[in-house]
Amino acid sequence: MTLSCRSWKLTLETGKVNSGACALVERGKKGATLIGHSEQVAVSTNKEIDSQIPNYPSLPPQLICQLHNVTMHADVETDEVYAQMTLQPLSPQEQKDPYFPNDLEKVFPPLDFSQQPPVQELVARDLHGNEWKFRHIFRGQPKRHLLTTGWSIFVSAKRLVAGDSVLFIWNENNQLLLAAHAAATNSRFTIFYNPRASPSEFVIPLAKYVKAVYHTRVSVGLRFRMLFETEESSVRRYMGTITGISDLDPARWPNSHWRSLKVGWDESTAGEKQPRVSLWEIEPLTTFPMYPSSFPLGPKRPWPTGLPFFHGGNDDISLNSPLMRLRDGGNPAIQSLNFRGVLQEMRTIDPTKQREQAQSQQSFLQATQDNQSGLFVKVYKSDSFGRTLDMTKFSSYHELRSELGCLFGLEGQLEDPLRSGWQLVFVDRENDVLLVGDDPWQEFRVHEVLEAIRVEVLLFKGLFEMDCLNLGWKSDGFRGQRQSDCCATETNIMPLTKVIRHIHGCLQKSARGKSYQNSQPCSEREMKANRSQSFMEMKK
Amino acid sequence: MTLSCRSWKLTLETGKVNSGACALVERGKKGATLIGHSEQVAVSTNKEIDSQIPNYPSLPPQLICQLHNVTMHADVETDEVYAQMTLQPLSPQEQKDPYFPNDLEKVFPPLDFSQQPPVQELVARDLHGNEWKFRHIFRGQPKRHLLTTGWSIFVSAKRLVAGDSVLFIWNENNQLLLAAHAAATNSRFTIFYNPRASPSEFVIPLAKYVKAVYHTRVSVGLRFRMLFETEESSVRRYMGTITGISDLDPARWPNSHWRSLKVGWDESTAGEKQPRVSLWEIEPLTTFPMYPSSFPLGPKRPWPTGLPFFHGGNDDISLNSPLMRLRDGGNPAIQSLNFRGVLQEMRTIDPTKQREQAQSQQSFLQATQDNQSGLFVKVYKSDSFGRTLDMTKFSSYHELRSELGCLFGLEGQLEDPLRSGWQLVFVDRENDVLLVGDDPWQEFRVHEVLEAIRVEVLLFKGLFEMDCLNLGWKSDGFRGQRQSDCCATETNIMPLTKVIRHIHGCLQKSARGKSYQNSQPCSEREMKANRSQSFMEMKK
DNA sequence: TTGTTGGCTTCTAGCCGACAA
DNA sequence: TTGTCGGCTAGAAGCCAACAA
């Protein structure tokens, strides 16, 4: 279940799961993978008791969860029906789903290989911002990454932050490198949902979410239909037009698809209808490019923006809109990237500055369009200052690359990105990172550059540490139980282009996957056996 | 500062304390001991961001804290001024205050003295309900109580629940035995207060609180004055009448004095005034029995109901009203007890049952009053079922005791409570536990029994383990620092009557007190010195 | 009465490559 | 490729009575 974690009232499950009527089975069967979103029940109902919503500062906008249980309740005072749901974040293994790429990115901070063996202190952070330190070492035969020290403290303290099975690892530049979904024991949480308090659909199947978010192109002006249940439980269709696309709460929950569409309704009677809806609630009237369901998965797949693994949600740079713009299929290169890590490394400008820049750039573009003298964009090299470039001067990618190479002292290197490591990319107004060169030049110049106001062309050479850490929980830390090292997969240091190809490759081998298994705690009995054995040996 | 912990927006203080203007200095100087209360800012302001209020299930309604810092801020959007306060729970030592009895009760679960030395696993719980296990042993020369094992885990994990410096220890009957206020390091927390959002005074001096709560008799019908600040910052008096006394939120915060008075206002212009106020906000017009300030503290002092140490707040039985009913002074016996531990041992009935019982009893009393045939009350012995008793049959306490002794097989024992350990008490509708026998019989029979609907007479023989545990924090758990045992004072096992006399004694020696000192963490330097020393010795 | 110390023991937690699945 | 094991070690954590304040 993917949760757009707006304002869940999270309560830790204290005991056994209740059984009861499952009113939400129609939308997603118990045990099925679902997507859920929430409103602030408290604010809507003005009920004191509902407003005790904890604030997890680093909670990402999406968590992939499984629905375990739904029970229905009625408010004693108002008789309003509400649902209680038990959710459990999915492990990476469980997230293997035809709709998602299987291989989630695996990232480590860079190791100093001059040491033998290479060791580092790995600092991870949980949803509450607590720091957890682990010793990360690269040793063994064959060589492997191990997290040794740190588990016992983490495990013994973990019960205090029950519900936390996610660790985030950041590098020194505050980039999110890794999110380790650990085993789901003790991580269930319960949600209370009052359907009257939230105008939008609350729980929907994951399939519906994925189809809407990744396989539907929406844009301002798009006409759509939307179903509403009437008071008499019958269904009616209302027509409307998309008037805007933006995060409902960009500051707190950037990248949440939850009610990201501003809409206008055709009928005046629909005046009370909510002014914002979610992608999956509407039926677009133009059947614009959607993936045919028979279409093979693989290269044509865009990088899934909504994945929780790249949205820590606790830094300043927001990905304003997560909507993927799909291109024509068949192109083997992945053209659209929305990779927070990349993004952050490329833009170390603080938000205020960024906003100012966007504004000045907007007026600048406005001006240039008025006098038709040129089409200026700013270009940046990742380690130097930006420059202004008139796009009308160029008639091909080659010319552009050549000029940029001169400007930044990278003569020739842009022509061979795979070897040089320098890759020309641009960031559109939706903060998607796109490779320069895949679209025909004219289309790129006119469409891509003109379309967006905040187009920026960037030169980028980034090193990325990849591969997903396979973190299982350690044993439960009971006395006498053994704490063994935790093994993790290898760190790959590679330039952006390789990252892209790597992602590409990952998408292709979608069906195959590694096994994510949690370490089994050693039983008390076994431990005792071990002890008496060594005792016997000593006596000999 | 005593906090009626309604719905603080608690945020952990991450860094240094801000300095700034202290607008609240008029009401309580920085550093002074104050009492604060809060409303749900979120509900009042309808602001989403304010409603993220964590729910601490076991947070008692009062915490005694000290105000460290107040800074004023203004909301960026609305320009509303709000205050940020840094609070710190007081240690037992710091709580020594002329208004409070100095000797807080010291309680341990019973030790099995057949073992030599007696050892037990002590389970404590913090405000979040997390369990902490310690090894409790009684050894040394002279014998003393020590908590040995358990500190390192607690200390290393404590950072996760910063702000928690209170541990509660319960016995197997779910009685609160002990609340250990540990040293305040790392336990500061910050409160944001929006005065516009809460109609009631937010921060008031502790003295004002104590005077209002413990030394003022209020009752329904009482006329009072109350000051209001007008828009022009001048002051006006409004008149009103108390129309009810009840907890604002009996379920979540029983025993909070926060806005416990329902009031009606005289002037129609006062219509917008809040319908509930707190005790300390009003000036009663009848100067009904209040302690003259020169009156010696001691025997006449009722057991302070509002003390945090007996209100864990996380069980089902609520002390519905905390208002003390004061009797005439000069009687050396403490007549009013509101001792959660006592109460719980005596009433193991679950709340639903209790409610049913109260209802049936109500109708029963109604019926008997109609036909005037008797005055029936239920009597209970702590280890057997209740029986119904007609109070009109008795003409003296002696007859009542005699009959009860027969009923429960305690012939003669009720006459000598100090020796037998059996004490006749009753619980009034405010759940106060009162000794039977201190009022004249007629007054008792008519006034006490008839006054309340839910009068219950109980026989009680309870063993209480007393004396306050002197728990200091261990050193901060840094590697290389020594974790030494924690010493605690002795366990006293005594019957209820002795408990009462003990409390009595405690109240008398109000000024004298034991020292509650926290253990000082061993410094890194000292530790190193120690090590090198022993290393040198080894070399010799 | 109680905090601290020295000296001691216990044993967790950690470390490591081997090995097998 | 990765989970677990045996064997090992360092050092934290614990234990205790003595002592001093």
**A426 Cβ contact list (under 8 Å, min separation 6):** A433, A434, A436, A448, A455, A456, A457, A458
Residue with tokens 């682990």: A134
pLDDT at B229: 63
CA of B140 to C1' of D10 (A): 30
Q: Residue B387 and residue B400: Cα distance in Å, rounded?
A: 13
Interval A253-273: pLDDT, tens: 566 677 788 888 887 665 567
CB contact under 8 A, B51 and A46: no
A152 close to B (CB below 8 A): no
Burial (0-12, 13-18, 19+ Cβ within 10 Å), B32: middle
pLDDT 10s digits, B319-375:
222 222 222 222 222 222 222 222 222 222 333 333 333 333 333 333 233 333 455
Q: d(Cα B60, Cα B161) in Å, to the nearest integer? A: 16
pLDDT-wise least confident of A485-499, A512-526, B274-288, B470-484: A512-526
Which tokens in the block code for residue B75? 């909301």
Which of A276-290, A324-338, A495-509 reaches the highest mean pLDDT? A276-290
* Tokens 């200026």 belong to residue: A376
In angstroms, how far is D13 C1' from B477 CA? Answer: 11
pLDDT tens digits, B184-243: 333 344 444 444 444 454 455 555 666 677 667 777 778 888 877 665 556 677 888 888
- Which residues does chain B have within 8 Å of residue A128's beta carbon, measured at their own beta carbons? 160
For residues A144 and A470, give the distance between their C-alpha atoms in angstroms, rounded to a whole number: 12
Spanning CA of B477 to C1' of C4, the rounded length in angstroms is: 17
- Residue-wise pLDDT for B4-27, tens only, equals 222 232 222 221 121 111 112 212
Give the count of alpha carbons within 13 A of A521, CB side only. Answer: 17
Distance, CA of A397 to CA of B317 (rounded, Å) = 77
Contact A156 B153 (CB under 8 A): yes
State the pLDDT at residue A67: 56
DSSP-derived pairing of the beta strands B34-37 and B2-4: parallel
Q: What tokens does B104 get?
A: 């807080």
Of A51, A153, A157, the CB nearest to B42: A51
Closest residue to C11 (CA to C1') is A480
Per the CB < 8 A criterion, the answer to whether B41 and B194 are in contact is yes
**Which of B48, B52, B160 is the closest to A54 by Cβ?**
B52
pLDDT given for residue A303 in this prediction = 28
Cα separations in angstroms, A109 against A243, A348, A490, B210: 42, 18, 11, 57
Whether the upstream peptide bond of residue A142 has omega within 30° of 0, thus cis, is yes
Dihedral sign from CA coordinates of A341, A346, A352, A356: negative
The two three-digit tokens of residue B97, written as one number: 């205050």
Identify, with chain letter, the residue nearest to nucleotide C4 (CA–C1').
B484
pLDDT at B503 over 60: no
Are the Cβ atoms of B157 and A161 closer than 8 angstroms? no
Can you give the length of chain B in residues?
540
Nearest-by-CA chain B residue for A47: B43
Residues 108-147 of B with CB under 8 A from A: 128, 130
Chains A–B, number of C-beta pairs less than 8 Å apart: 59
Say what the pLDDT of residue A133 is.
Answer: 81
Is the Cβ atom of B524 within 7 Å of strand C at any atom? Answer: no
Q: Which residues pair with A126 in a beta bridge?
A: A167
Contacting B residues, span 248-307, partner chain A, CB-CB under 8 Å: 249, 252
Angle at A390 between CA A385 and CA A392, to 5 degrees: 155
Does the pLDDT at position A14 exceed 80?
A: no
Strand, coil or helix: A392: helix
pTM tops 0.95, yes or no = no
Whether the pLDDT of residue A55 is over 60: the answer is no
Residues 42-71 of B with CB under 8 A from A: 42-43, 46, 48-49, 51-55
A13: its two tokens: 């499950």
Q: How many angstroms separate the CA of residue B293 from the nearest CA in chain A?
A: 39
For position A251, what pLDDT does the model report? 63
Residues B213, B211: Cα–Cα separation, whole Å? 6
Question: From the candidates A6, A52, A158, which should be mutated to test the interface with B, based on the most B CB atoms within 10 A?
Answer: A52
Cβ of A43 within 8 Å of Cβ of B46? The answer is: yes
pLDDT in tens, B137-195: 888 777 777 777 877 777 676 656 544 444 555 555 444 455 654 433 333 444 444 44
Q: Note the pLDDT tens digit of each residue in B49-91.
A: 333 333 333 344 445 555 555 555 555 555 555 555 555 555 4
Q: Is B160 in Cβ contact with A156 (below 8 Å)?
A: no
CB contact under 8 A, B160 and A161: yes
Residues of B with Cβ-Cβ distance to A48 under 8 angstroms: 7, 40, 43, 249
Q: How far is the CA of B523 from the C1' of C8 (A)?
A: 22
B54–A49: do the CB atoms touch at under 8 Å?
A: no
Looking at the partner chain, which of A46, A48, A55 has a beta carbon nearest the beta carbon of B52?
Answer: A55
DSSP, res B444: I
List the beta bridge partners of residue B235: B229
CB contact under 8 A, A52 and B48: no
Check B160 against A42: CB less than 8 A apart. Answer: no
Q: Is the pLDDT at B467 greater than 50, yes or no? A: no
CA of A159: which chain B residue's CA is closest?
B130
Name the packing angle between helices A151-158 and B151-158 (round to 10°).
Answer: 80
Of all residues in chain B, what percent carry a pLDDT higher than 90? 0
